[in-house]
Structure formats: C-alpha cells, structure tokens
Amino acid sequence: MNAQTGGNAAQSVSIQGLAGGSKPNTASVKIVPKGGVYSGEKLTVTMVKEGNDWKIDAVKSNAPVGP
C-alpha cells in the first residue's frame, strides 16, 4: 500500500477537463496527480449534486492494481 504513506502522496493535481454529465445534476472532471507514486496517472471523478452540495459518486483510474 504505497499510497498510504505521506511521502507517496501527490503534491498537486492538474485539472484537464470538466464536463456536465449525461444525466441532470451530474458532472465529471479529469485530473492527473503530480508527484507521488501515481504521478501522471489519469483519474476521472464523477460527481452528483445533492441539494447544494456536489458529492463524489465514482473514481476511475488507469493505475495498475496490485503489488
């Protein structure tokens, strides 16, 4: 679990795109962490609006799974 230690966390993220979702009150954003063990991996974060708040619904990654 390399990502669980402080030295392996990303120092920043680059936001590469924000788009409205295919359903009302949904959106997705593409981000890429800079630094840390997963530097350069692309993440897609899907959000859903509940009341006045945006909440994370799902995170998809191209990072390899496993040790």
Domain that holds residue 17: 12-61
Residue 5 lies in a domain: no
> Which positions ≥6 away from 51 have C-beta within 8 Å?
none
Residue 49 lies in a domain: yes
- Which pLDDT belongs to residue 60? 92
47/21: higher pLDDT: 47
Residue 1 lies in a domain: no
Write the DSSP symbol of residue 12.
E
Structure-token pair, residue 29: 């954003």
**What domain count does the chain have?**
1
Residue 3 lies in a domain: no
Residue 66 lies in a domain: no
Query: Once rounded to an integer, what is the mean pLDDT over residues 22-46?
Result: 90
Query: Once rounded to an integer, what is the mean pLDDT over residues 17-36?
Result: 89
Asked whether the whole model's pTM tops 0.85, one would answer no
